[in-house]
Amino acid sequence: MAQMTMAKALNEGLRRAMENNPKVLLMGEDIGKLGGVFRVTDGLQKDFGEDRVIDSPLAESGIVGTAVGMAIRGYRPVCEIQFDGFVYPAFDQIVSQVAKLHSRSDGVYTMGLVIRLPYGGQIGAIEHHSESPEGYFAHTAGLRVVSPTTPNDAYWMIQQAISHDDPIIFCEPKCRYWEKGDVDLDHPPRGLFEANVAREGRDVTVVTYGPSVRTALRAADAAAAEGRSVEVIDARSIAPLDFGVMVTSVQKTGRLVVVAEAPANASVSAEIAARLAEDCFYSLSAPPLRVTGYHTPYPPSRIEEEYLPSVDRILDAIDRVIGFES
């Protein structure tokens, strides 16, 4: 067991994947000598060389397009997109090529590539640096989308993603890069696409993922001080969603709150709420509620706290579902 930040855990996970498989290589803007904007790839070019840790041009479409060709030839490319809002120049490559080549080739080609995407807010950044585009990719058949929450998950999930034959959008909550936690270097905690019960409870289920998990856990602590027991589910995988864990929890508590930074409109939170309403209809004692970002462009940093799901907003939703009378 080791103590490390999420950024360091990702670095160690990438290092271990590169040591275990010479076909694994990294591509991205400033990831080599600089070690990336968040220093996640720090030291890897020095240890593995410029042929395996490649400082690319400032061209996201070119990065992902090149990775497609490499994946076809049997390499395991890992692309870094510097910030969430910079992924859109590569959107056509991702949804038209990466997501479809396996099906289009009738299984002849696999797309074993990973696209690392720092996403979400809570860092006081400027425009295009705090977005939550995971819903675009979750909607696209052929892509898998995951998001670690703890350093331990980050260490193991990046390795599991790299070894997987499907293309994976690896969403990293950038506001958690510097938070420390225990990392078990020998035993993965669970499968790549499995949800986790982050906190057990009996009165209401809160389903969330990525940057919002820590906020939901803080809300659960505050609710406990008021005598309310909140179960927090960390989805971990966004596509596919592990509904089995969620259904079991909602059938136990009878109430559901879904929390995410992305706006509620046509979102992952909408899918979770809709599916659990369908699957748990006779177990629910109140309508599911969502606590999300608003349907506006991400705001300036001075007011981002008004936009993001907060402890108070989550507690309000918990009060409403517990106090609901049919």
Put residue 179 in one of left, alpha, beta given phi > 0 → left and psi -120 to 50 → alpha.
Answer: beta
Q: How far is CA 130 from CA 142, 148, 174, 211, 239, in A?
A: 25, 17, 9, 11, 21
**Smallest Cα–Cα separation from 30: which of 15, 16, 40, 20?**
40
Q: What is the pLDDT of residues 4-31, one digit of tens each?
A: 999 999 999 999 999 999 999 999 999 9
**Largest separation between any pair of C-alpha atoms in the chain:** 64
How open is the CA angle 130-135-139, to the nearest 5 degrees? 155
- What angle, 0 to 180 degrees and rounded to 10, lies between the N-to-C axes of helices 212-225 and 311-323? 60
- Check for a shared fold between 2-183 and 196-323: yes
Strand partners, 117: 171
264, 288 Cβ separation under 8 angstroms: no
pLDDT of residue 152: 97
Class of domain 196-323: alpha beta
For 46-107, strand residue ranges (E) read 53-55, 76-80
What is the rounded CA–CA span in Å between residue 6 and residue 13? 10
How many CA atoms lie within 13 Å of 3's alpha carbon, on the beta-carbon side? Answer: 2
For 142-198, give the DSSP string. Answer: T-EEE---SHHHHHHHHHHHHH-SS-EEEEEEGGGTT-EEEE-SS---S-TT--EEE
pLDDT of residue 325: 66
Decide: pTM greater than 0.75. yes
Please provide the distance, in angstroms rounded to a whole number, between the alpha carbons at the two ends of the chain.
Answer: 49
Low-confidence residues in the chain, pLDDT < 50: none
What is the rounded CA–CA span in Å between residue 6 and residue 103? 34
164 is catalytic: no
129, 139, 164, 187: which is the annotated catalytic residue? 129
pLDDT of residue 12: 98
For the chain, give every domain's residue range: 2-183, 196-323
Residues in the chain: 326
pLDDT of residue 126: 85
309, 278 Cβ separation under 8 angstroms: no
> What's the CATH number for 2-183?
3.40.50.970
What is the rounded CA–CA span in Å between residue 221 and residue 92? 43
For the chain, strand residue ranges (E) read 2-5, 24-28, 53-55, 76-80, 114-119, 144-146, 168-173, 180-183, 196-199, 204-208, 230-234, 237-239, 256-263, 289-293
* Collapsed DSSP state (helix, strand, coil) of residue 261: strand
Tokens of 79: 């692309």
pLDDT of residue 85: 94
* Residue in this structure with the two tokens 């078990």, named with its chain if needed: 184
How many C-beta neighbours within 10 Å does residue 294 have? 13
